[in-house]
Structure 1
Amino acid sequence: MNGHSGTSSGKDGRLGRRAAESLDARREDAFDDVVARKDPEGLRKGLTTRHIQMIAFGGAIGTGLFYGSAAGIKLAGPSLLLAYALGGIVIFFVVRAMGEMSVHRPSSGSFSRYANDYWSPRAGFVAGWNYWFNYIAVAMAELTVVGQYVQYWFPSVPAWASAAAVLLVITAVNLVGVKAFGEFEFWFSAIKVAAVVGMIVLGLYVIAAGVNSNPHLPNPSFGHLFGDGFLAKGVTGLLASLVFVMFSFGGIELIGITAGEAENPQRSIPKAVNQVVYRILIFYIGALTIVMAVVPWRQINGKLSPFVQIFDSVGISVAAHVLNFVVLTAALSVYNSGLYSNGRVLYSLARQGNAPKAFMRLSRRGIPYAGVLFSSMVTAVAVAVIYFLPETAFSILMAMALGSSIISWVMILLTHRAFRKRIGSGVADLAFKLPGGLASNGVALACLIGVFILMAFNPDYRTSVAVMPIWLFILFAAYEGKKRSSRPGMPADRVQESRS
């Protein structure tokens, strides 16, 4: 009798939880519908599958591939290819987890909105402001070096003038409309993709034809990958390169930010997310395989970009000019994406009640102009101030940016776990699931924790490890301060709805 009673109460409990989950889901859907009706000037769905596909391509290719890859090769030798394969699997799990949530409920606030709704307002605050700061720091760094790229051609142009011009142009693009952003990012990404594809094609030609214009180097051959052993720097070198590899994927989570403004997120987001693996194989593993086949990896000293060495080997004397154009484009792409992302993140934070209501303001074209302008102004001030700060201050800011990338990925995975728990039995009905579910989520989390531990053993990343707890403490303290200064109750968007 007692056993039957326990079973019955257990069933009742499960049914009660499912009913509550279903009711919560209906309330969320109803709320979104009401906001859409009350706010006809909302974010516009102007990003096509073509835009999102190329934005995803561009998110996987940064200046690190063109310049920073030499540092990775020095760390690990040919085993860097294995590090990219392993890191690619982890990143695939991260973006696939975010894709699962984005397809289920598209939102331009992406994982910040999901963290707020499925985990807690505190998590939404931390996720959103951490991600906003990450792109501010990255944008600051990119604008700082834009001047160097321009001075390569025009030495008399002040670096600040180039940075100011780029800031004004990209800000204007982001204020015009989401389609303008999408078109600019499409062509920025297309240039980067074309550069990598061109290098791979030229490299294959060099290898097949045995072209060698440098008498001090052996003829190109895939044998260079195994001449000193694939694990030439040992397991230690492989592990050391994993940290470098993971940070080269920074920005790929931008796919999720685009979901709220995608014309057909149920089609475009899964397609873009699933191609992450192919992009990594082609644009990182493929390109670096060609690089180390044309130029023996021990001959890559970092003084020249490996890509310049590829072009030089076939007698293309303008190789350095080509690369300078590509990395300038890559820097513009990063700032364009960062400003787009930050405007939407601030808009989402304001709707959650985790940022000033002013950031909820939209233009007639559905652009969160307040967030875009504020982010642009903060970046401008940061770039101006950085000229007067000592090098150590800049290093600390960049260390915080590196740490915030890891925090963002961890927050995505933890939010995904909360999302799965929240929807309960609704997992079976998800249209786009993370393969392996929570097991894959756990593997990715463990790997990211492992990367954090590896950072502590690398002198180049110890500052990041030191500032991450401090940065998290600042975010938590800011949330507690915000909570005490505002009246308890509904988030800003729901407060507005209750008043209308």
Structure 2
Amino acid sequence: MDLTSSADTSLQKVITTRQFVLMALSSSIGAGVLLATYSSLAVGGSGSLLISFTVVGFAVWITMCALGELSAAFPVSGSFYEYSVRFISPAWGFAMGWNYVINFIFIVVFELVVMLLCTRYWEPNLPAYYVLPGFISGLVLVNAFGAKWYAEAENVFAVCKMIVLTAFVIVAALIVNKNIPADTRPAEELGFNLWVQNAFRHGPIGFLYVFMTAGMAYGGTEMLGLTAAECEKPQKVMPIACNIVPLRILWLYLVPIFMLGMVLKVSLDGEVQSGGISPLVAAMDQANLPIIGSIFNGIIIIAIFSMASASVFASSRALQAMSARGMGPRLFAKIKRGYPIWALALVFSISLLSFIKISKDGDIVFNWLLALASGSNYFTWISICVCHIRLRLAIRRKRLENRDVLKWQSPPGIGGSMIAIVIFVFGLAAQIIAAVQSPLPNPPHVLSSFLGIIVVFVFWAGYMVLGNSVLLTPLDQIDLQAKATEPVENDENV
């Protein structure tokens, strides 16, 4: 099969605009913002946390606009790495596709383990084999009925996420204004006094560490490009998502993070580093509101389950699209009755790695597996922005007008994509520096922080050698026609 041809689009287009809009609001909110912000607050402080999330959030919005422009003009299954193949090179598209598949497969494992840790908030010695089979079965059930019911479940989860984050902001405001009788802390230990006191911890290294966390927390926003391939009106929904993302970043990221710094006093200890409790729950505990803390913890488990479900969806669709191109095993390209059944089977098989936490040295093995995903988000976002820039340059090279090719244009334009690339490159550099100069008392092995970056370049270099790919597709050879995509074999006998 020609590797520069488009992949299969025989996935069912059943996701409605209403479902897509709610998914755009909160589908990728998971452990990154609901749990990892705890250690980030302890390491970098409230000021570093807010600044880093604002900067990365701005760049993510630019990236979503770039992806919206690409998706409206070229609606294809596989989304951003399809664009990497078309606008950068087959080798880079191959590396980005597998990078994304590996990233989200292991995010499924990560989210399962995080859900286990959250349940131990109520019962510290709760065995993993009591909990994990139920969560895995739930993920199978949500994904067993196809994209339409997956989207419907995500809508329910989205409402839960919006409720818990909005409720936290309201309760935090009441705490700051001393309207919670159970909270006996003096007013000077809360609000702006607490925020300013802990604004910038551990200096520049603390800021770099938090910047790295922000990249992880926004991960998955781009999966809307994958979801659009199974939407009834893909050319309509991506521009809508681009307009929704700024609201989502402000409402569900920045405001809760700002309020968190005003009500949660935190020190860098083992409990924080383990990631076993959400800072939202910890803030309720410090305010002597254990019942609200338990309610928040329950909804947070639902929210993390949602991210695990979204990761199953993203990784299976990415694997199917890659394999449909001939860039993966043919088995995973097959679609049965509208579902990428074999890709889903692989994802659920690997999800069983979450049981590693039971074994001796399980934490060490788990951390190294998770490190495979390190840097993935920044690479994905950089690739989307580079594709957008090269699309515009190809239009100019062929002496066409933007309106001749584009159905919708990104408001930040090509300059915005350049700014976003600079921010993301800084994020990758921050990850490396923060790993070498980690302020954590028990930092992971330095090599583990480089592993994800190494994997990307191994895939890229391997394809360059074995696939005889060009380093960069010439601008005048880039295909600007939004043509129908090639079908692959579908097995309807199941």
**Same structural fold, with TM-score higher than 0.5 when normalized by the shorter chain:** yes
Match of 1:71 among 26, 39, 47: 39
Q: Does 1:61 align with 2:29?
A: yes
Greater relative contact order, per chain length (Cα 8 Å cut-off, separation 6+):
2
Alignment of 1:376-455 (within 5 A): 376-380=348-352, 382-384=353-355, 387-388=358-359, 390=361, 391-424=363-396, 425-429=400-404, 430-455=406-431
Query: 1:487 corresponds to which residue?
Result: none
- Going from structure 1 to structure 2, the CA distance change for 1:307 and 1:217 (only over 3 Å counts) comes to farther
Once the two structures are TM-superposed, the CA of residue 496 in structure 1 deviates from its matched residue by 6.1
Distance 1:148 1:232 in 2: 27
Query: 2:447 corresponds to which residue?
Result: 463
- Going from structure 1 to structure 2, the CA distance change for 1:101 and 1:227 (only over 3 Å counts) comes to closer
Q: Can you list the C-alpha shifts for 1:251-308, whole angstroms capped at 9, x where unaligned? A: 1111111111112223322222222222121222211222333346789997564423
Distance 2:395 2:54 in 1: 32
Query: For residue 418 of structure 1, what is the amino acid of its counterpart?
Result: R
Query: Where in structure 2 are there 5+ consecutive unaligned residues?
Result: 439-443, 469-484, 490-494
Aligned with 2:53: secondary structure?
A: helix
- Percent sequence identity is 24
Preserved contact between residue 300 and residue 306 of structure 1 (Cα < 8 Å): no
- Going from structure 1 to structure 2, the CA distance change for 1:53 and 1:452 (only over 3 Å counts) comes to same
Distance 2:365 2:278 in 1: 27
- Going from structure 1 to structure 2, the CA distance change for 1:212 and 1:299 (only over 3 Å counts) comes to farther
Match of 2:168 among 196, 199, 206: 199
Q: Does 1:267 align with 2:219?
A: no
- Going from structure 1 to structure 2, the CA distance change for 1:447 and 1:148 (only over 3 Å counts) comes to closer
Once the two structures are TM-superposed, the CA of residue 312 in structure 1 deviates from its matched residue by 4.5
Query: 2:441 corresponds to which residue?
Result: none
Query: For residue 354 of structure 2, what is the amino acid of its counterpart?
Result: V
Query: 1:243 corresponds to which residue?
Result: 212
Distance 2:100 2:464 in 1: 19
Q: Can you list the C-alpha shifts for 1:72-115, whole angstroms capped at 9, x where unaligned? A: 22233331222221111111122221121112222231112122
Aligned with 2:393: secondary structure?
A: helix
Match of 2:318 among 325, 335, 345: 345
Distance 1:65 1:89 in 2: 16
Match of 1:336 among 288, 298, 309: 309
Distance 1:148 1:302 in 2: 11
Match of 1:356 among 320, 324, 329: 329
- Going from structure 1 to structure 2, the CA distance change for 1:261 and 1:388 (only over 3 Å counts) comes to same
Once the two structures are TM-superposed, the CA of residue 67 in structure 1 deviates from its matched residue by 2.6
Distance 1:299 1:202 in 2: 24
Distance 1:449 1:306 in 2: 28
Preserved contact between residue 378 and residue 424 of structure 2 (Cα < 8 Å): yes
Distance 2:204 2:121 in 1: 39
Distance 1:138 1:428 in 2: 39
Query: Where in structure 1 are there 5+ consecutive unaligned residues?
Result: 1-26, 37-41, 485-492
Once the two structures are TM-superposed, the CA of residue 131 in structure 1 deviates from its matched residue by 0.3
Query: 1:8 corresponds to which residue?
Result: none
Query: 2:58 corresponds to which residue?
Result: 89
Distance 1:240 1:406 in 2: 15
Alignment of 1:223-234 (within 5 A): 223-224=192-193, 227-228=196-197
Query: 1:375 corresponds to which residue?
Result: 347
Distance 1:145 1:222 in 2: 29
Query: For residue 372 of structure 2, what is the amino acid of its counterpart?
Result: M
Q: Which has the higher helix share?
A: 1
Once the two structures are TM-superposed, the CA of residue 349 in structure 1 deviates from its matched residue by 1.0
Preserved contact between residue 56 and residue 215 of structure 2 (Cα < 8 Å): yes
Query: 2:300 corresponds to which residue?
Result: 327
Query: 1:472 corresponds to which residue?
Result: 456
Once the two structures are TM-superposed, the CA of residue 208 in structure 1 deviates from its matched residue by 4.1
TM-score, with length taken from structure 2: 0.81
Q: Can you list the C-alpha shifts for 1:148-201, whole angstroms capped at 9, x where unaligned? A: 334555678631342223223322321312111001111112111100011112
- Going from structure 1 to structure 2, the CA distance change for 1:77 and 1:169 (only over 3 Å counts) comes to closer
- Going from structure 1 to structure 2, the CA distance change for 1:76 and 1:348 (only over 3 Å counts) comes to same
Query: 2:281 corresponds to which residue?
Result: 308
Q: CA RMSD in A?
A: 3.2
- Going from structure 1 to structure 2, the CA distance change for 1:392 and 1:296 (only over 3 Å counts) comes to closer
- Going from structure 1 to structure 2, the CA distance change for 1:283 and 1:495 (only over 3 Å counts) comes to closer
Query: 1:48 corresponds to which residue?
Result: 16
Once the two structures are TM-superposed, the CA of residue 406 in structure 1 deviates from its matched residue by 2.2
Query: 1:15 corresponds to which residue?
Result: none
Aligned with 1:433: secondary structure?
A: coil
Once the two structures are TM-superposed, the CA of residue 233 in structure 1 deviates from its matched residue by 6.3
Query: 2:144 corresponds to which residue?
Result: 175
Once the two structures are TM-superposed, the CA of residue 385 in structure 1 deviates from its matched residue by 5.1
Distance 1:227 1:477 in 2: 47
Larger Rg: 1
Preserved contact between residue 119 and residue 419 of structure 1 (Cα < 8 Å): no
- Going from structure 1 to structure 2, the CA distance change for 1:146 and 1:72 (only over 3 Å counts) comes to closer
- Going from structure 1 to structure 2, the CA distance change for 1:156 and 1:354 (only over 3 Å counts) comes to same
Distance 1:300 1:158 in 2: 24
Q: How many residues align?
A: 452
Preserved contact between residue 59 and residue 254 of structure 1 (Cα < 8 Å): no
Distance 1:87 1:327 in 2: 23
- Going from structure 1 to structure 2, the CA distance change for 1:446 and 1:312 (only over 3 Å counts) comes to same
Distance 1:341 1:476 in 2: 21
Distance 1:50 1:393 in 2: 41
- Going from structure 1 to structure 2, the CA distance change for 1:75 and 1:315 (only over 3 Å counts) comes to closer
Distance 2:354 2:364 in 1: 15
Q: Can you list the C-alpha shifts for 1:216-254, whole angstroms capped at 9, x where unaligned? A: 443676432665496576566444422222221111111
Preserved contact between residue 91 and residue 467 of structure 2 (Cα < 8 Å): no
Alignment of 1:105-254 (within 5 A): 105-153=74-122, 158-208=127-177, 210-211=179-180, 213-218=182-187, 222-224=191-193, 227-228=196-197, 237-254=206-223
- Going from structure 1 to structure 2, the CA distance change for 1:220 and 1:45 (only over 3 Å counts) comes to farther
Distance 2:202 2:126 in 1: 43
Query: For residue 192 of structure 1, what is the amino acid of its counterpart?
Result: K
TM-score, with length taken from structure 1: 0.80
